[in-house]
A and B are shown apart, each in its own frame.
Chain A
Amino acid sequence: MTDSTTALLERVLDLRMKAHEVHTSNIANANVPQFKARKIEFDKALEAAVTQSENPDTLQARELSLQAAVRDVESAIYEDPNAPMKGNGNTVNMEREQTELAKNTIAYDMAIQLINKKFAMQRYVLQEGGSR
């Protein structure tokens, strides 16, 4: 019922929500001794899913390919082994975390808006179609 672009945007929302949790928890633990900051990555996975679904020839094959690829996109969450440590063993970089949080929030808002727009267009056509 939903097209592959909407499914992709839904996945983006899931991933961004998870990123939100990772960054807020890092910020909350900024002064905890020995706490190791966690990183979350999914940019490359999303990009791969989108570019490889451009390959098939027909529109339907591309749709199916993207739907399948979107389901497989996973986020990688891990402790950064190269993160510089503060005196108490804590590796949280406050500026980095706040920057990432701001970026993530904007991307989340953006995905919400795009999905809203798509649904609004579908609803509009259906309503207009039924009114005559």
Chain B
Amino acid sequence: MDVFKSMDVIGSALSAERTRLEAIQSNVANANTVRGVDGGPYKRKDVVLQSVPLQNEFGEILDSKDNTHVEVEVADVVEDQSGGRPVYDPQHPDANAEGYVYFPNVNPVEEMANMISADRAFQTNVNVFQTTKQMALKALEIGR
């Protein structure tokens, strides 16, 4: 059913944007976490989104021209591998031999921008969902 496939697409976008928001929240909350889970500072998370390859019912990959329903999914959550941002503070309990402490590579301004983008995308998808639902309910008025 056409309208249901549209709703699946929107649902996938809502899920994906929510995941982005969660990663951003996690980054912002841990912006100053010097002791991350693996030892060393917290590694900043970045969510990578991709379009779901279109498959017909036999599992074969379809040409993208043939399908108007393209779902989105989280391809990967990539952790920052740079080792963190060194800050000179010999008094810090976690300072290394040279007096440097490594802080997470989290830039609050960048995270803010990402957060606005993800939130805006989430809101837009919610609106699109409402519109889709309205269309379906309107169609149900045929012959009522």
Contact = CB atoms under 8 A, between A and B. Distances in A.
Do chains A and B stick together as partners?
yes
Interface of A: 93-96, 98-100, 102-103, 106-107, 109-110, 113, 117
Nearest to A102: B133
Contacts, number: 38
Contacts of A117: 143
Overall SS of chain A's interface: helix
Contacts of A102: 7, 129, 133
A84 to B, nearest CB: 9
Overall SS of chain B's interface: helix
B69 interface: no
Contact of A103 (B7, B14, B15, B143): B7
B85 to A, nearest CB: 26
Contacts of B4: 103, 106-107
B129 A110 contact: no
Given A102-B129, A102-B133, A96 B143 contact: no
A95 B15 contact: yes
A106 B15 contact: no
